[in-house]
Amino acid sequence: MIDSPMRTFYLTTTLPYVNSDPHIGFALELVQADALVRFRRSLGEEVFFTTGTDEHGQKIYEAAQKAGKGTQEYVDYYANEFQKLKGTLGLSDDLHFIRTTSPHHKLAAEEMWKRCMAKGDIYKKPFEGLYCVGCEKFLTKKEIINDLCHIHKTAPQLLKEENYFFKFSRYQEKLLEYLNQSNVIVPEWRRIEAINFVKEGLEDFSISREKSRLTWGVSVPEDDTQVMYVWFDALTSYISTLGWPNDESGNFKKFWEEGYTLQMAGKDQVRFQSLMWQAMLMSADIKNTDQVFYHGFINSGGQKMSKSIGNVISPYELVQKYGTEATRYLLLRHVHSTEDTDVTWEKLDEWYTAGLTNGIGNLVARVMKLCADNLSAPIAEPEAPQGKEEIKKALEEFSFNQALELVFSLIAIADERITRDEPFKVVKSDPTQGRVMLAGLAAEVWNIGYLLGPFMPETSKKILDAIKENKKPENLFPRLV
């Protein structure tokens, strides 16, 4: 175990929008989060790990209509598809799952609204603007390029409504003060991006839609003609999952107010996660998030993944082909933590074969076969693993791929030692010296297995069990057929 003072640690992913099947980008976020959670637990910390589904809004309503299903039936189906990722990706057993259509969450969203209203930060006014259904929001001038939404490349709709607005502009200085804290956003250039956005000037933004245009959402308290914007209620899930506001002295106090809070999100979420949500928390007099980590995107064949192009890779397809543990490895080692990464099936095959079949799988099989054949007693575990501080430093910087590079460098060192020292020959010519060499190799394998714990928990367990029982395990990573 790595020495660390006992504390509470809270980690939430974003809540994916349930208008389509889970994609590989969200699988990346889940696996990164799970690796951090498992690592923090190894430090002796008490952890609250949560994810969920974002289930309101116009896109959901329209998708349900197109599918010929009731909206609740539609979101129930997709929520289940996302919940299945827990088992598919080997996520921690105590992962919490919040749905924004749950009764408790709706009450929390209403309470957040009431607190912001009581603070004088919500007001109603007529408004005309260009609305993007894909973004679920009215666009600012700089978000429209050549008359199209800069993200979805579609023409926004001109809408005139009377909506509620949030006094975002009121929190410009407070947000700058918050963002000027070092490490509040990782990577650093995303923090600079957020600061620059605020310095350009903040505009109050609409936080509701007319119910006559959109019925699928949380009703605005004391105004049944309006529903909340989907993201206003969805962001509140980060604290409703802790029982807020009904249980402010329980998990909310323990993990949000007194613990260290971390949010994980894609790089396109900076405005929502680090600006809008933080302003909402300020308005409601709730502690701000301690840190937000933004990962990059996964592209395929040099293009953004798209169903129309046909280059989408599903996490279920990954697991079906490579298995859960290999999928975790592929995402954590070969997808860059903060930059965009190009992924194709050809690359995945290469990474699997090189790192798993010919790497860790081959090393464990060779060493444990020699140990089982030549050592009569179980192998003693080393007193302390080597490389744990380097792993700790890499994960503190969210360098998941660097952490695994460190582990796999130890595999390369062990392979080189076997090639150089030829213990398979020494154990025959000088059994005593050979057994010493094999015990040393077994200790190296144990160390590798231990360090793999947060990243590939089942593989780690199989390796440590093999060492304990002094036997060759079943083939960890068979060759692809």
What's the CATH architecture for 344-469? Orthogonal Bundle (1.10)
User: Which pLDDT score, from 0 to 100, does residue 141 have?
Assistant: 78
- pTM score of the predicted model: 0.92
The domain segmentation of the chain, as residue ranges, is 8-295, 344-469
User: Which pLDDT score, from 0 to 100, does residue 385 have?
Assistant: 84
The one-digit pLDDT tens for each residue of the chain (481 residues) are 334 455 899 999 999 988 888 889 999 999 999 999 999 999 999 999 999 999 999 889 999 999 999 999 999 999 999 999 999 999 999 999 999 999 999 999 999 999 999 999 999 998 888 888 777 777 877 788 888 987 778 898 888 889 999 999 999 999 999 999 999 999 999 999 999 999 999 999 999 999 988 889 999 999 999 999 988 999 999 999 999 999 877 999 999 999 999 999 999 999 999 999 999 999 999 999 999 999 999 998 777 776 556 677 899 999 999 999 999 999 999 999 999 999 999 999 999 999 999 999 999 999 999 999 999 877 777 777 889 999 999 999 999 999 999 999 999 999 999 999 999 999 999 999 999 999 999 999 999 999 999 999 999 999 999 999 999 999 999 999 8
What's the CATH architecture for 8-295? 3-Layer(aba) Sandwich (3.40)
CB 234 within 8 A of CB 221: no
